Copies of this chain bind each other. A is one copy, B any other.
Amino acid sequence: MAQTDKKTIILFSGDFDKVLAAFVIANGAAAMGDDVTMFFTFWGLNVLRRDRRTATPGKGPLQRMFAVMMPRGPKKLSLSHMNFAGAGPVLMRKMMRSVNVMSIDEMMATAKEQGIKMIACTMSMDVMGLRREELIDGLEYAGVATYLGEADEANVNLFI
């Protein structure tokens, strides 16, 4: 069978545990030589936020409120279960270190080194009022048509 080994992952979730799973799969596939595209949408965009507040003049009050309430970057993410007001992720990180699993920060750096294409969903950014200057460098910006084009070329497409 003629076959591609390209992989795509839509990262919709911003939960610490799901983000971790997404990067483990993405980095694993890239390490095996596959092309990988990650498409960040909705809560998944929070993973891409810079950890410092960015000046964003001209935002409306709703967009400001969302920006304040949503986590900024991988260090601020919550667990989908057993979050315990932030204690859960602290414990999870500790357990990850104790068995030599990379942090999400390190996994993101590895993803970049391995050439994983990271696309921020522009429609979600518009809806949530996120601007490019609030997100980390090295991203591409596109919508659902681009995602679908990538998925058509892939043999594994996951929604996380």
Q: Which of A's residues lie within 8 Å of B, judged by CB?
A: 1-5, 7, 10, 12, 14, 17-18, 21, 24-25, 28-29, 32, 34, 41-43, 60, 62-63, 65-66, 69-70, 80-82, 91-92, 94-96, 98-99, 101, 123, 126-129, 143-145, 147-148, 151-152, 154-160
A42 CB to nearest B CB, Å: 5
| CA–CA, A150 and B49, complex, Å | 33
Q: Which residues of B lie under 8 Å from residue A1 when comparing CB positions?
A: 1-4
Q: What are 13 A-B pairs at a CB distance below 8 A?
A: A1-B2, A10-B21, A12-B160, A21-B159, A24-B123, A25-B144, A29-B148, A32-B145, A32-B148, A66-B91, A101-B126, A151-B155, A158-B158
A149 CB to nearest B CB, Å: 8
Q: Which residues of B lie under 8 Å from residue A157 when comparing CB positions?
A: 156-158
A97 CB to nearest B CB, Å: 10
Copies of this subunit: 3
A43 CB to nearest B CB, Å: 6
Partner of A128, one of B14, B95, B126: B95
Partner of A99, one of B12, B127, B154: B127
Closest to A82 in B: B69
Known contacts A2-B1, A95-B63, A145-B28, A158 near B156 by CB under 8 Å: no
